[in-house]
Amino acid sequence: MQERLQKILSQAGIASRRESETIIQDGRVAVNGVVVTELGTKADPDTDTITVDGKALAIEEKRVCIVLYKPVGYMTTMKDPEGRPIVTDLLKGVQERVYPIGRLDYNTEGLLLLTNDGALANMLMHPSHEVDKGYLVRVGGKVSQSQMQRLAEGVQLEDGMTAPAKVLPVSESENNSWISITIHEGRYRQVRRMCEAVGLSVVRLKRARYDFLVIGDMKPGDYRFLEPEEVTRLKRKTVPTTGRAPRKTGIIAKRGSAPAKGGANHRKR
């Protein structure tokens, strides 16, 4: 069956569909020995010989999904022109060629999913699905009720208004405050920009939850493979939101509560 090349590459675990388009346009893909750069080109992986950088596509590679505690100081890319460490450097012993689902910026730590299942990655990142992502944010100084309210209701950024978020106070000291922010969008540096928009300076940012997956007692650099039932649960959770009731914001005035811990056992590097 013929399919678009970027979809075939994505399903083979080469890269996400969007990144696969760039790979094609860069002339790195050939079909039956002929280099292809047109994004609309179709091929049949069962009958055509498809190569990327001269290597034949391995369609039957085992599908895996990995949860990693990304440390600060790693790039969420497959390569970095400046030579900085990338997240896959942490996956010692992983044979499959996986790539990140979404991104965490260089100075952000926490839960990151990686996979070679292009269909799963595209489903989780598609804007029609509302996958909750929970962050713990330490900011300088104290956070006012009005600032929390603005974050919860949505703030105006240069790329548009953010969707309502769930915002909870966690703890407060003389110099810093911790708050919890849960969003379902995936804009570039969104949580940092939201905080800056209401006058908060982010000192530390950690993604603690992705849908039902939590960081638990994982340490920076730890990773584990998701169990098949966890992958199935992720797929079931990514249901199109058409017809859903609008999300409600959530603010709790009580301060000093600690974030809940939990999650499956993890395997260290």
The count of C-alpha atoms lying within 13 angstroms of the C-alpha of 235, restricted to the half-sphere facing its C-beta, is 12
Q: How far is CA 2 from each of CA 8, 12, 20, 45, 96, rounded to the nearest angstrom?
A: 9, 15, 17, 7, 25
Query: 263 falls in which pLDDT band (50, 70, 90)?
Result: very low
d(CA 45, CA 13): 14
pLDDT digits (tens, 9 = 90+) for 206-225: 999 999 999 999 999 999 99
Query: 18 falls in which pLDDT band (50, 70, 90)?
Result: confident
pLDDT digits (tens, 9 = 90+) for 120-178: 998 898 877 779 999 999 999 999 999 999 999 999 999 999 999 999 999 999 899 99
Arch. (CATH architecture) of 3-56: Roll (3.10)
> From the CB of residue 134, how many other CB atoms can be counted at a distance below 10 Å?
22
Tell if the pTM clears 0.75, that is, is over it.
no
pLDDT digits (tens, 9 = 90+) for 39-54: 989 998 878 999 999 9
- Residue from 105, 117, 132, 222 carrying the catalytic annotation: 105
Question: With contact defined as beta carbons under 8 Å apart, do 65 and 82 qualify?
Answer: no
Residue 159 annotated in active site: no
> From the CB of residue 55, how many other CB atoms can be counted at a distance below 10 Å?
9
Query: 260 falls in which pLDDT band (50, 70, 90)?
Result: very low
With a cut of 70, say whether residue 63 has pLDDT above it: yes
